[in-house]
Amino acid sequence: MKGSASPLVIRRLGAGLAGAVLFLAAACSGATEPEEGSGEAAKSAPVKLSITPAADETGVRPDAPVTVTAGGGTISDVTVTVVPVGGDIEAEGVPEAAPSPPAAGSDAFDAVTGTLNEERTEWTSDWTLTPGSEVTVVATGENPEGEQSESTSAFTTSDTPNGKHLEVQSNFPTSGDTVGVGMPVVVNFDLPVSNKAQVEAAMEVVSDQPAEGAWNWFGDQMVVFRTKEYWTPGQKVTVNMHLAGVNAAEGVYGVKNRQLNFEVGRSQVSTIDDSSHRMVVERDGEQIKDFPISNGDATTRAFTTTSGVHLTMEKYQHLIMDSATVGIPQGSPGYYYLDVNYAVRVSNSGEFTHAAPWNSSLGQANLSHGCTNMSTEDAKWFYENSLMGDPVVIEGTDRELEVDNGWGYWQRSWEEWLDNSETGEADKTDEAGSPGSPHGSAER
């Protein structure tokens, strides 16, 4: 994970006094050469600061890293100011020691922060720069005597034309949502992404409680973040999408940053046993409900309820279920058209929990078209007490839930999930930064 060191300001007042004492001693004893390694002869040269990109460069690639190096001393402060041409200041940041996760709703994620090496002689920007902007980098360093020097570089980044702007088309959850402990972060882009590792590295996930997670891609326009274990309940999570300046594909760049804030609610995990025809609900580790249910009759694959870890996705107090939407058109064997209440979606293949007052075999037999039938009272309770992202674990059928069927992302083991991450490294969400680098080639 990336970190950054704090500005170090040291004022040394003794050097001038030492020089005065040396002068008096020399006047009393005659013309004596100063001893090697003392006084003015030992005074260090000013620290030499070098900034890349250099001053007055134009058309700098937005994904090029900003670097500051110090010769004969250390770096104490770096400030980067980004002003989109014709716009307001987007980011102004100074590196801080042990940076804390940004507060929900803050603009801290927009700052161009950086990371210092252990010797404090090299600083590298953590994130990319907004296209079409004027950038000013002010670096301060000091030599071993504590004397400070400053260097400035002002340059401009290249713009990217309309039609080549990478935008977030949608995301789940949305800011302000309270979600279940299994909730992933799903981000859909408006354009295909080929430089997936850079985009992954630009998206920072921070949480109140420690967790490990990683991103997986499903196609070229959807990326999903999932944790190793379920989220710890009762905490806040922030997703900082540092997309401005990220080179997503040939000629395609992100143009603005986005921040997502949500809360993880109580832990509620429901387990459905296909053979016993029961659904048990546990909240915060304690069983609170035990419902009779009826799953798919399994006469066809389409009518077989899928086994695996499902997540509640959306819910409807009233819903028309038309089998034509899942590939069984009107006139075909098995066609159905149902008017149901208290429906909670758990997959994209048409599986819901819902009220089925017509089903007299609840708790006894599986007679549905693949959904989990419940009594009206029980379905209403589950509808009213479900959060998006609550795990629903279905056991005992011979049809496995596919990883890309709805939010079936927990169907991959953690090892498989990590293997499918472009960075290949776990993100520790209680630390600032992200694995990998959002920067492209150093050549501009």
What is the Cα–Cα distance from 315 to 345, expressed in whole angstroms?
6
What is the Cα–Cα distance from 442 to 368, expressed in whole angstroms?
59
Q: Please choose, from the candidates 289, 352, 359, the residue with its C-alpha nearest in 3D space to the C-alpha of residue 326.
A: 352
Going along 274-314, which residue ranges are E strands?
278-283, 286-292, 308-311
What is the Cα–Cα distance from 411 to 303, expressed in whole angstroms?
20
- Which tokens go with 15? 């050097």
What is the Cα–Cα distance from 297 to 72, expressed in whole angstroms?
77
Q: Please choose, from the candidates 287, 258, 247, the residue with its C-alpha nearest in 3D space to the C-alpha of residue 271.
A: 287
What is the Cα–Cα distance from 125 to 437, expressed in whole angstroms?
10
DSSP code string of 34-87: PPTTSGGGGPPPPPEEEEESPTT--SB-TTSPPEEEEESSEEEEEEEEEEETTS
The active-site residue out of 310, 369, 371, 439 is 371
What is the Cα–Cα distance from 438 to 112, expressed in whole angstroms?
13
The active-site residue out of 310, 354, 369, 439 is 354
What is the Cα–Cα distance from 237 to 101, expressed in whole angstroms?
9
| 3-class state of residue 25 by DSSP | helix
Is 397:366 a contact under the CB 8 Å cutoff?
no
- Which tokens go with 109? 């994620």
Torsion, CA 397, CA 373, CA 390, CA 282, rounded to 10: -90
What is the Cα–Cα distance from 192 to 338, expressed in whole angstroms?
37
What is the Cα–Cα distance from 432 to 173, expressed in whole angstroms?
21
Q: Is the peptide bond before 173 cis (omega within 30 degrees of 0)?
A: yes
Does 371 participate in catalysis according to the annotation? yes
| 3-class state of residue 158 by DSSP | coil
Helix-, strand-, coil-residue percentages of the chain, each rounded to 5 = 10, 35, 50
User: What single letter denotes the amino acid at residue 225?
Assistant: F
- Which tokens go with 383? 């509808």
Does 28 participate in catalysis according to the annotation? no
Catalogue the active-site residues. Answer: 354, 371
